[in-house]
Chain A
Amino acid sequence: MALLDYMQAKKLLDRYGIRSADSAYVSSADAAAKFAKGRKIALKLVSDKALHKSKAGLVKLDLENDAAVTKAYDELVGLGKKLKPYKILAQNMAGAGVEIIIGGNTDKQFGKVLLVGLGGIYVETFKDVQMRLCPITKMDAKEMLDGLESRKVVTYDGRSENEVADLLMKVSKLLTENAKIAELDLNPVIVRPGSYDVVDIRILE
């Protein structure tokens, strides 16, 4: 299995109308600062040799000014020496919200499976997830969210419930129509009232 390039993965999400944080590869600290245009950004080192970016210190968050961006960029280049080949991804920081995970997997017996749960660092601690076979219906999407122990945290109002249910339908469609995707992690997806942003994407083919 191979990890799909981040920007290619992002383009694939774009095609299905799935919003993800504005992102670009940058090859210098200046380019990163230019990408930021005064916005708060994150820098991430992307390498096949590092599967868990945040655990390895390869994610620099909340970079507010050019000085912070330059410092972070240089640190990543330092860390990257052992992880060649690598790329550095600049990403607009999504606002605060609830972190959820949306995932996809291929069961050898039953086919594509869609998963949703409380995300970020909580995924493996609480394992509060719901799964369904693809393709799902809108009703399935709502039942998935309703089935979570953390449902009141994940979807605090009707608007965000609808928004996330629609998102689940879109991911289900993506999984169903792209047979070669073996595994998919959208983690975290940051959910805010009536809106969301996919912040990290991992697609394995």
Chain B
Amino acid sequence: MMKPRSVAIIGASRDPAKVGNVILQNYIGAGYEGKLYPVNPNADEILGRKAYKTVLEIKDTIDLAVIAIPAPLVPKVLEQCGKAKVRSAVVVSGGFAEVGETELQEKITEIAKKYKIAMIGPNCLGVMDTRSKVDTLFLPMKKISRPKVGYVSFVSQSGAVGSTVLDVIAGEGFGLSKFVSYGNAAYLDETDILEYLMNDEETKVIVVYLEGIKRGKEFVELARKITKVKPVVVLKAGRTEAGTAAAHSHTAALAGNYAVQEAIFKQFGFTVASDLSELIYYAKIFASEVKPKGNRVAVITNGGGAGVVAADEIASSRYLKMAELSAGTKKSLRKVMPALVNMTDPLDLAGDADSRRYGDALNALGADPNIDMLMVIVLYQTPGADPAVTHEIVQKKITLNKPLLVVSVGTEYTHKQTRLLEDKNVPVYDSPISAVDALEALFEYAEYKSRH
């Protein structure tokens, strides 16, 4: 499904307003290199390509069928796919269990099982793979940017949340590996998809939006394994559950299904985001792929106030603490820093700090065994903070074996710099608070892994 050599688009249409037309256009636009077969009983040619009446007419073996036709027609078409030995299918069409048509949904599930078609959907956006350029999304490219190639994969039950997050990820430097929106999960569900991503070498971080869990026991078995392999950031859906009021004991009243799901995430080392921005903060720090050896953070800054805010935030956090610079670091820094720079954490390089001062500080603190993580605050509004500082940070990050992130706030000029940083895999945060949350999540996950 993710690396198909051939794709049939069933319901491909000449009408640009139709979903089937958008999907076909996207495949062409994304530069998908496999074979494309538009299927439409009422057309001979679509977007300059020969159209087939049914999938059975296609001589080639079809790895993936994207089905975007009215719901009542899906069983017949899926049956044809089965007969044509299609290996996987994405049923984009809505009009199944989500509107009460459970029988229709069961029917297509049975067909998928019978012919062993790996089926995603119905009622979903489907799949995207930035490497193979598979893209079953019916969202026009001009309306939602496609993320660059990366190692973060994103799973979403909801298509709406999925497309929003996808659009946000497209604006981030870390990129995307795979996206799966699985809709009604009639056949393949979240547990299947997460298991696939756990074993996928092109995925190093998994981000998932869950509204519910279909197979509890199987999910728990997977949860035990998955975080030992790679970090999973989960965005939980809102609390919709009522009905714990009638419970007989205190415990039952406190342990509703929603609370239990949260407990499971905690127990098995998932990183829980409570909103979209947290989700991006966490995904970003995990995507930078360096593991902390401990919880001691050093802050480098060119703004005293920002340094103090960061230090307060670290000191009052649950798991992190401010590092103490080693004697050796102080000595070597003293030689290169002007007299007004105090040898403390936060290390305030002063308002006139330039790339050389940042470089010297990064060298010294990067080598200090008392420091596990680095937060570099750059206020680009000051005269010395220029593209050379950006370059210096990017260069030092390459050889640094501890997590480093940048905190930077500003508008146009700053954005240009932070974009350059993020493109080179340096995570950037717009406040010390979100930066501390991110470092803390990174530390907690490293701890979880070392204990289990």
What residues make up the interface of A, taking CB atoms closer than 8 Å to B?
A: 1, 51, 101, 103-105, 107-111, 113, 115, 117, 123-124, 127, 129-133, 136, 139-140, 143, 147, 183-185, 187, 202, 204
Contact = CB atoms under 8 A, between A and B. Distances in A.
Contacts of B263: 113, 130-133
A109 B255 contact: no
A185 B249 CA distance: 7
Given A105-B255, A111-B216, A131-B255, A202 B267 contact: no
Contacts of B216: 107, 109-111
Q: Is the interface of A mostly helix, strand, loop or mixed?
A: strand
B254 A133 contact: no
Residue picked from A115, A123, A129, A136, most chain B C-beta under 10 Å: A115
Interface of B: 213, 216-217, 220, 247-255, 257, 259-264, 266-267, 451-452
Contact of B250 (A1, A109, A123, A139): A123
B253 to A, nearest CB: 8
26 contacts: A51-B248, A101-B250, A103-B249, A103-B250, A105-B252, A107-B216, A107-B255, A107-B257, A109-B213, A109-B216, A110-B216, A110-B257, A113-B263, A127-B254, A131-B255, A131-B263, A132-B263, A133-B264, A133-B267, A140-B267, A143-B266, A183-B251, A184-B251, A185-B250, A185-B251, A202-B249
Contacts of A1: 248
Given A110-B216, A131-B262, 19 more contacts: A1-B248, A101-B250, A101-B251, A103-B251, A104-B251, A109-B213, A109-B216, A109-B257, A110-B264, A111-B216, A113-B263, A117-B254, A132-B263, A132-B267, A133-B260, A136-B267, A143-B266, A183-B248, A183-B252
Contacts of A117: 254
B254 A129 contact: yes
A101 B216 CA distance: 26
B151 to A, nearest CB: 29
Nearest to A101: B250
Contacts, number: 83
Q: Is the interface of B mostly helix, strand, loop or mixed?
A: helix
A141 B259 CA distance: 17
Q: 3 smallest A-B Cβ distances: which pairs?
A: A103-B251, A109-B216, A131-B263
Nearest to B260: A107
Residue picked from B213, B253, B261, B263, most chain A C-beta under 10 Å: B263
B113 to A, nearest CB: 23
Contact of B217 (A110, A136, A140): A110
Contacts of B452: 139
A111 B217 contact: yes
Contacts of B257: 107-110
Given A133-B263, A133-B264, A140-B267, A105 B251 contact: yes
A177 to B, nearest CB: 18
